[in-house]
Amino acid sequence: MLNFPLPQNGSLSSLMLKKEIYDFKSAIAYVNQLPYGRTSDRTNFHLIVFENKGTCSTKHAFLKQLAVESQKENVKLFIGIYQMNEANTKGVGKVLDNYNLAYIPEAHIYLKINGNLLDVTRTTKNETSFEDSLLIEQEILPPQIGSYKVDFHQNFLKQWIADEQISYSFEEIWNIREKCIFAISE
């Protein structure tokens, strides 16, 4: 695991230093233990410290920005679209079964450090990894966790609906997806 001391002068590293977290590995452990949940502003990844929770987007963007402050270019932020199903995301199976869907494409944000995937939000044991069912991935920057992520995901879903001749509208698929997200956050 890559580790390095946090700088004294960065805005995020200053937040970590106030919590007596002095290196990247300890920052990863801190972010990992935060409960899963949306912050009051899903684009402001600083809020994970103040609201004591975060999503895949805010948690990984926070860590990526810490690496930027430390001038570590080998920590990369990615968005991936994977085939979300019960095997790789416990809790969504019943929702998908209700709509006769084997899977639904879901966006996920994660890090790659020296090419190795790091995901601090998927703590539930699943039969398979989301990485095994990736449909597409793209490197992004922390400011892209907001509208860019949503647009990327929604455009992918619209194309998937057309290509796979899914019998549901985009709005229906998005609603089914929200039910899946609700099911895994219970």
For residue 81, the model assigns a pLDDT of 97
Query: Which residue, chain included where needed, has tokens 């992520």?
Result: 149
Same domain as 104, residue 149? yes
Q: What does DSSP say about strands 134-140 and 116-118: parallel, antiparallel, or unpaired?
A: unpaired
Same structural domain for residues 63 and 83?
no
The count of structural domains within the chain is: 2
Residues 89 and 168 in one domain: yes
Q: Is residue 2 one of the residues assigned to a domain?
A: no
Residue 13: its pLDDT value, please? Answer: 95
In a domain, 6, yes or no: no
Which residue among 47, 69, 91 closes a domain? Answer: 69
Helical ranges in 34-163 per DSSP H:
47-51, 56-69, 93-98, 147-163
Question: Does 5 map to a domain?
Answer: no
pLDDT for 122 equals 67
Domain boundary among 69, 91, 111: 69
pLDDT for the residue numbered 169: 97
Closest by CA position to 62, among listed 120, 131, 116: 120
Are residues 45 and 126 part of one domain? Answer: no
- Tell how far CA 77 is from the center of its chain: 10
Contact assessment for residue 140 and residue 78, using Cβ atoms and an 8 Å cutoff: yes
Question: Both 50 and 118 in a single domain?
Answer: no
Same domain, 171 and 90: yes
Query: What are the CA-CA distances from residue 66 to residues 15, 29, 48, 103 (Å)?
Result: 10, 13, 13, 34
Domain membership of residue 83 as a residue range: 78-185
| 121 shares its domain with 61 | no
pLDDT at 126: 54
pTM of the model: 0.90
115 and 169 share a domain? yes
Q: Read off the tokens for 60.
A: 């990984």
Q: Output the pLDDT for position 21.
A: 97
Do residues 61 and 25 both lie within one domain? yes
The answer to whether residues 90 and 158 belong to one domain is yes
Digitized pLDDT (tens) for each residue of the chain, 186 residues in all: 689 999 988 999 999 999 999 999 999 999 999 998 889 998 999 999 999 999 999 999 999 999 999 999 999 999 999 999 999 888 899 999 999 999 999 999 999 999 899 999 865 555 556 777 899 999 999 999 999 999 999 999 999 999 999 999 999 999 999 999 888 876
**Structure confidence at residue 26 (pLDDT):** 97
- 4 falls within a domain: no
